[in-house]
Amino acid sequence: MSIIDWFAKKEKSTGSSERLNIPGDVWVKCTSCSEILFQKDLESNQKVCPKCGFHFRISPEDRIRYTFDTNTFIEKDSEIGPTDFLRFFDTESYTDRIRKAQSKSGKNDAVVSGTATINGLPVNTAIMNFAFMGGSMGSVVGEKITRTIERSVEDFKPVVVFTSSGGARMQEGIMSLMQMAKTSAALERLAEQRVPYISVLCDPTTGGTSASFAILGDINIAEPGALISFAGPRVIEQTIRQKLPKGFQRSEFLLAHGMVDMVTDRRELRHTLSTLLTTLSIPREPNQ
Amino acid sequence: MKLLPFEKPLAELYDKIAQLRKLSVEGNIDLSGEIEKIEGRAEQVRKEIYTNLTPNQIVQVARHPHRPDTDSLIRLIFDTFVELHGDRLFGDDPAIVGGIATLGQFRVVVMGHQKGHDTKENIRRNFGMPNPEGYRKALRLMQMADRFRMPIITFIDTPGAYPGIEAEERGQAEAIARNLREMAGFTVPIVSFVIGEGGSGGALGIGVANRLYMLQNAVYSVISPEGCASILFRDAKKSDIAADAMKITAPEIVKLGIADGIIPEPLGGAHHDWKVVSQSIQEAIQAELCKFKDLSEQEIKSQRYAKFRAMGRFLDPGI
């Protein structure tokens, strides 16, 4: 985009909001079709644009509300928090970045994990939060995902993970890379125990997250239009020096290339998960 | 031998030596005393440079075009080697070489990323950046190793997995992820060596090992210093600061508990003496395989799991 385009776009958008004179928390503009939506309508539609079906990114709290039986979610490992063990400093210190993200989100790191039920079926679950430092995977994310899987190795409840992450957290250096191996190793143990794992890939799921637990589901479900990739589009464009085709690395592209089992509308997800898990799980006595 | 930018003081001395040699031959004058003196000085300068390398300079040594490559090291280290090809699904990726080899009493499966030493070879090898079929070939060989009770040796030397359209279409993420999971389950020992660049997931894709060694001037990082600099520092030229901040050198990787040991390199880097380096690696392989001989299949797998399970630094008030 040239700087002139940018100004043109900026002028246009300020123009429309002035014309409508709307406070931001009551109305929201669809990122995809530009339709002005009543915030309450959007929320009652699980943050899917009623006009074009665009799936907005959602918080773990929303995800829990849309997916699990009411009041069944019990959070685990919420007390685990990140530490700046490399004393990493880029344009600001990792310590400050952590503090800001924590005070903004009220959470310790980029994943919320725990237990819940879907249509009465108990699961262990983890939900990534893109709003927390781009959902990046550092030690805390890796540890909580691993503990979630290990709980299922013990209690045989299926694992459902919702991914939304830009990849590894660079501020934790090599340790963030190793979380890919740690989480994947736990999944090897889970497979050995014949416990189902469903990965729901949400926008975006890239880099180290996509190249570890996110793509390793017994069943991979993608939300419509989600960016799912190993290398980011910009990196590829720089490498091959050409523009990428439209829809490249989106959910539907992954479905066409055999990387996900289905692309499922968020409003259907609860039902789909329930059906899949009921069918997949080996009938057995709980190990407790 | 190509000199690196930070070796400039050496270049001047080497030039001088060459000039004196030429002069001595052409003019039939004995300048050996002079030459010796400058050679001594050059050696001293080299020592000074190499005892105080910055992380960014180490990255340059790790990427030196004449650094020993996987294929050459395999042929120097093992008694016999038969290269095997193809992933049985799509193709054969020249960016990863692998096969079966013997070393004394040991039969092993050995593999690694393959870079070239010149442009032509580098293009053929895709600069050591594998496509999914490379990781799938590696997995096929490792599964065979597990079946036939052969320890697995891997050499890591890649800028990263290839970021290309076809690589994405064929599931680069899936290929790497599957290797991570499957390597965790093998019941034969896996010993890995970062011989040059350990570039992110592309390196880890053949690096879920029981034991990991770093060559002295090898680096291992979650993203290239240039990539980190352009994303976090908003300036690719700040790669020297990024290289320092990410703690990517062999001593740092050992300190963080990721690598278990360092293979020393000759002064001036591994590219000065492939043979010495290959001998050190050979000794390490033999020592490690002897240790694992007494462990059961389950113990080998558990040791690897415990190693990766312990990786991570976080605050846990519950402990």
* DSSP per-residue letters across B47-62: HHHHHT--HHHHHHHH
Write out chain A residues lying below 8 Å of B316, CB-based.
79-81
Tell me the pLDDT tens digit for each residue of B242-281.
999 999 999 999 999 999 999 999 999 999 999 999 999 9
Gap from A174 CA to chain B (nearest CA, Å): 5
Gap from A202 CA to chain B (nearest CA, Å): 15
For residue B236, pLDDT over 50 is answered with: yes
Distance between CA atoms of residues B215 and B69, nearest Å = 12
pLDDT score for A234: 87
For residue B230, how many other CB atoms are within 10 A of its CB? 20
Secondary-structure percent of chain A, ordered helix, strand, coil, rounded to 5: 45, 20, 35
Q: How far is CA B25 from CA B12, B38, B42, in A?
A: 20, 17, 21
pLDDT score for A24: 57
Secondary structure (H, E, C), A145-171: HHHHHHHHHHHCCCEEEEEEECCECHH
Residue of B nearest to A192 (CA): B185
pLDDT score for A22: 54
Task: Select the residue of A79, A90, A228 nearest B233 (Cβ to Cβ).
Answer: A90
Tell me how many residue pairs between chain A and chain B have CB atoms under 8 A apart. Answer: 194
pLDDT score for A12: 44
What DSSP string runs through B208-261? Answer: --SEEEEETT-EEESS-HHHHHHHHSS-GGGHHHHHHHTT-BHHHHHHTTS--E
Please compute the mean of the pLDDT values over residues B200-212 and round it to a whole number. Answer: 98
Gap from B284 CA to chain A (nearest CA, Å): 23
Distance between CA atoms of residues B104 and B286, nearest Å = 9
Please compute the mean of the pLDDT values over residues B205-223 and round it to a whole number. Answer: 98
Write out chain A residues lying below 8 Å of B174, CB-based.
211, 215, 259
Per-chain mean pLDDT for chain B: 96
Tell me the pLDDT tens digit for each residue of B87-137.
999 999 999 999 999 999 999 999 999 999 999 999 999 999 999 999 999
Strand A111-118 versus strand A81-82 pairing type? unpaired
Residue of A nearest to B247 (CA): A173
Task: Select the residue of B168, B173, B245 nearest A88 (Cβ to Cβ).
Answer: B245
Distance between CA atoms of residues B149 and B142, nearest Å = 10
- State both tokens at B35: 């030459």
Tell me the pLDDT tens digit for each residue of B127-184.
999 999 999 999 999 999 999 999 999 999 999 999 999 999 999 999 999 999 999 9
Strand A81-82 versus strand A262-263 pairing type? unpaired
pLDDT score for A25: 76
pTM beyond cutoff 0.80: yes
Contact B138, B89 (CB under 8 A): no
pLDDT score for A241: 85
Write out chain A residues lying below 8 Å of B204, CB-based.
177-178, 180-181
Q: Which residues of chain A have pLDDT under 50?
A: 1, 7-20, 288
Write out chain B residues lying below 8 Å of A98, CB-based.
none
Angle between helices B32-51 and B8-26 (to 10 degrees): 170
Contact A185, B181 (CB under 8 A): yes
pLDDT score for B143: 98
pLDDT score for A27: 92
Write out chain A residues lying below 8 Å of B234, CB-based.
91
- State both tokens at B135: 């990781």
- State both tokens at B129: 């950046």
Gap from B211 CA to chain A (nearest CA, Å): 14
